[in-house]
Structure formats: C-alpha cells, structure tokens
Amino acid sequence: DTAVSQTPKYLVTQMGNDKSIKCEQNLGHDTMYWYKQDSKKFLKIMFSYNNKELIINETVPNRFSPKSPDKAHLNLHINSLELGDSAVYFCASSQGNRRTKNIQYFGAGTRLSVL
C-alpha cells in the first residue's frame, strides 16, 4: 500500500550503460516529479509531469529522458551513464491545487552508483 513506489532501490552499473528507474503513485495525484540528490545532499528538481504532460524541465543533460505513460507513472531513462550521474534519485507526486498547496510525497529513492 506504499503511496509512491520506485524501483529499483539500488542500481549499480558501468559507465556508458543505459538504465531506467520506474515510479508509480497510488494517491490519485495529477503531478509527478523527479529529483536528484547529490553527494552534498542538495535536492534539486529535474522534471515534472502534470497529467502526462511535461511542465518542468530543468537544465538537465538530454541523456535523461522522462516518460509518463499515464498520470500514475513517471519513469526516468538515462543513456550513456557517467560517473557524475551517481546520486539518489527521488520520485514525488502532488495534487498541486490551492487547497493542498503543492505538498509533495516522495518515494524511497533509487541509489544509483556508476562505476
């Protein structure tokens, strides 16, 4: 009954590989996000989708491609992985209206290590 679930929890891979992280939310929210938390623990937004439409695309290399097949799912595909991509990636979701004030709920994170 996890609200926001992402898989895998850990991902260890070689430089140059392509990998995907999946995220699903069962909260009925319209908006989903991907964040990156680096080694200094700074949490920064990467992408946001509202009802399958991309609404936020921060300055992120185009090796990162989000895909939202429906509003409950937001996946992140990363091509040609680099050492600097090593981080924890968090998925989040929100209802995003005036009443809820955009309170976001986070998945448990995917710890990506690129060797």
Partner 1 sequence: RKEVEQDPGPFNVPEGATVAFNCTYSNSASQSFFWYRQDCRKEPKLLMSVYSSGNEDGRFTAQLNRASQYISLLIRDSKLSDSATYLCVVNPPGFQKLVFGTGTRLLVSP
Q: Where on the chain is the footprint of partner 1 (CB under 8 A)?
A: 31, 33, 40-45, 48, 50, 55-56, 90, 94, 96, 101-109
Count other C-beta atoms under 10 Å from residue 104's C-beta.
19
Comparison of 14 and 101: residue with beta carbon closer to partner 1: 101
Which residues does residue 21 pair with via DSSP β-bridges, in sequence order? 76
Give the residue among 89, 34, 96 at the shortest CA–CA distance from 66: 34
Comparison of 15 and 55: residue with beta carbon closer to partner 1: 55
**Smallest distance from partner 1 to CB 50, Å:** 7
